[in-house]
Amino acid sequence: MLDKAARSSPARLALTVFTAMIGLVTILLMMPFSAADGQHTSLRDALFTAVSAICVTGLTTVDTATHWSTAGLIIIMLAMKIGGLGVLTLASLLGLSVMRSMGLAQRIITASETRAERLAEVGSVLRVLVITSTALEVLTFLALVPYMFITNHGIAESLFFGAFYAVSAFNNAGFVPEPGGITQYLGDPFFTVPIATAVFIGALGFPVVLVLVKKWRTPRRWSLHAKLTLSTSAILFVAGFLGYLLMEWSNPSTLGGQSLVTKVLASGFASVMPRSGGFATLDIAALNPETRLFTDLLMFIGGGSGSTGGGIKVTTFALLVLSIIAEARGDRDVETFGRRIPHETIRQAIGVLVMSASVVFLATFVMLSLTPFTLDEVLFEVLSAFGTVGLSTGITPHLGDAGTYVIALCMYLGRIGPMSLGAALALRSGTRFVRLPQERPIVG
pLDDT tens across 277-290, in order?
889 999 999 999 99
115 — pLDDT class (breaks 50, 70, 90): very low
What pLDDT does 16 receive?
Answer: 76
111 — pLDDT class (breaks 50, 70, 90): very low
At residue 111, the 3 state secondary structure works out as helix
- The Cα–Cα gap between 292 and 139 comes to 32
Write the single-letter amino acid at 81. Answer: K
As a whole number, mean pLDDT of residues 160-189 equals 90
As a whole number, mean pLDDT of residues 227-252 equals 94
As a whole number, mean pLDDT of residues 78-94 equals 70
What pLDDT does 6 receive?
Answer: 47
- The Cα–Cα gap between 302 and 49 comes to 21
What pLDDT does 179 receive?
Answer: 87
State the maximum Cα–Cα separation within the chain, in Å, rounded to a whole number. 74
- The Cα–Cα gap between 415 and 50 comes to 13
**434, 21 contact by CB (below 8 A):** no
**420, 9 contact by CB (below 8 A):** no
What pLDDT does 342 receive?
Answer: 86
103 φ/ψ angles, rounded to the nearest 5 degrees: -75, 170
430 — pLDDT class (breaks 50, 70, 90): low
pLDDT of 2 higher than 50: no
pLDDT of 96 higher than 70: no
pLDDT digits (tens, 9 = 90+) for 385-419: 999 898 999 899 999 899 999 999 999 888 876 65
pLDDT digits (tens, 9 = 90+) for 24-71: 999 999 999 999 999 999 999 999 999 999 988 889 999 999 999 999
What pLDDT does 367 receive?
Answer: 95
pLDDT digits (tens, 9 = 90+) for 187-206: 899 999 999 999 999 888 87
Tell me how many degrees the CA angle 411-186-389 measures, rounded to the nearest 5. 10
Q: Poorest-confidence range of 111-115, 289-293, 365-369?
A: 111-115
pLDDT of 127 higher than 90: no
257 — pLDDT class (breaks 50, 70, 90): confident
As a whole number, mean pLDDT of residues 237-261 equals 93
What pLDDT does 84 receive?
Answer: 80
As a whole number, mean pLDDT of residues 81-108 equals 56
Q: Which positions ≥6 away from 127 have C-beta within 8 Å?
A: none
What pLDDT does 112 receive?
Answer: 38
As a whole number, mean pLDDT of residues 75-80 equals 93
DSSP of 159-208, one letter per residue? HHHHHHHHHHHHTT-----STTTTGGGTT-HHHHHHHHHHHHHHHH-HHH
What pLDDT does 355 receive?
Answer: 87
At residue 68, the 3 state secondary structure works out as strand
**389, 299 contact by CB (below 8 A):** yes
- The Cα–Cα gap between 296 and 299 comes to 5
At residue 341, the 3 state secondary structure works out as strand
Instruction: Measure Cα distances from 170 to 84, 85, 200, 336, 428 in Å.
Output: 9, 11, 8, 29, 33
Whether the CA torsion 99, 101, 104, 106 is positive or negative: it is negative
pLDDT of 185 higher than 80: yes
- Average pLDDT over the chain reads 83
The model's pTM is 0.86
pLDDT of 240 higher than 90: yes
